[in-house]
Structure 1
């Protein structure tokens, strides 16, 4: 059992939903957040609220004041915040050129700025406590950019960069900021794919414009053949939560299909990164 307080974003479906349920079963005090808990997400909100140890609260990660108020109310009530799991986000596909400035800003507002807003609202309390854990959900696509997912990939690259630098900035204060890098899993995210609004542009691509749909069909066939279990991701999150502070890895790959490739990329980057940090006189931050 645990008396630790955990706040999870995007719990209306997918990894967030599974993480909220599993954390509650492990005895954590869980704050499961999502948008529109009295509207389109009411059924899921009510289901989670009925589970012991779960408190459902409204949270839109694109609303700066709303994020501050929600996190502030949790901290005021509990007197602490031990774990933040940044899971809220959405997937986008299609031709990159079809994304307007508005389309791009919308995706960054959720996937990148939303992650930053909750981090910024959590860090003061965690620094005050001298401990805390922030887990940001990235992707294997935060390591390499696949065609026809370009804009989405770029948001995950941003989350990777944000987390990597912050990991070393706040670790001396007792706060761990880490990443989970899920591969492709059959969750609701792929049934809610966003596409660029300027579809007239696609006409200039000829037959190439049909490829994104073929990619989507291929992923469906892959899921059917390999059946990767989404529970792998919450399990990796729980392992991080249960690892002592200061011992948690910066990156945790959760991918039974292409994970080895991502693991190798992570190892290569870490070697170069460590050399870079050392060369600039910051070697102590690596310990």
Structure 2
């Protein structure tokens, strides 16, 4: 035998009023049907829940224990429609976010704070990936949103610029380039040892740099994929590197930064990226929360 939600509500009313007449009035029913509901509940539970006589009503130990669970069940049932509406509208849910290592010091913390402020019931699950891994995960519906470097196929993905920043030269402290009173030109780099981005693991930055600066392969002392690695190599005197302006935030000691003359003042871009077919309502709410969110790291 099972019990009903109405029977649970009857028990809660009697337990709170400790009077069958008042409980019946609260439930807008007469006392005999209320008594029958309690009897059916006790039969279903297999335990005596209430002690009553002509003058008083009290909970048995079993009734007190059952009352706590009854309230919990009723609270869940009462909250379920609102929960369903919030999930359907996207104000509650989970968004799986892919991000590049560089975005952690460029924008990730600020983005999470904005989403947390505007959508406190949306949980953002984080996955560190390079752009090509994010694209594959988006295609496989393993991610909802990416923080990735362009370009993207516009027939499959929607994207929005999130960060635009300058490209700087990271050089050892007291390097001659720090004495320049203007942005460095490609000609100023002649004879310098270069720490370059990996052509395969950091293709976006590699392509960006070589499109603006003639790079002789014999000048490249190291090719690495992570910006923080580049900065420590610069600090060790292994060469100079091309880094986004947000790299200054890392505060690596022994490194100075020089503005690089580029055709576009802020050529480094980071985009929000998502697939056009993604059905997650929480994604739409996150995108709306970030609608006017754009960061510049100009120096």
Class of the TM-score when normalised by the shorter of the 2 chains: under 0.3
Higher-Rg structure is 2
Q: Report the TM-score when normalising by structure 1.
A: 0.25
Q: Report the TM-score when normalising by structure 2.
A: 0.24
Q: Which has the higher strand share?
A: 2
Q: Which has the higher contact order (CA 8 A, sep 6+)?
A: 2
Q: Which has the higher helix share?
A: 1
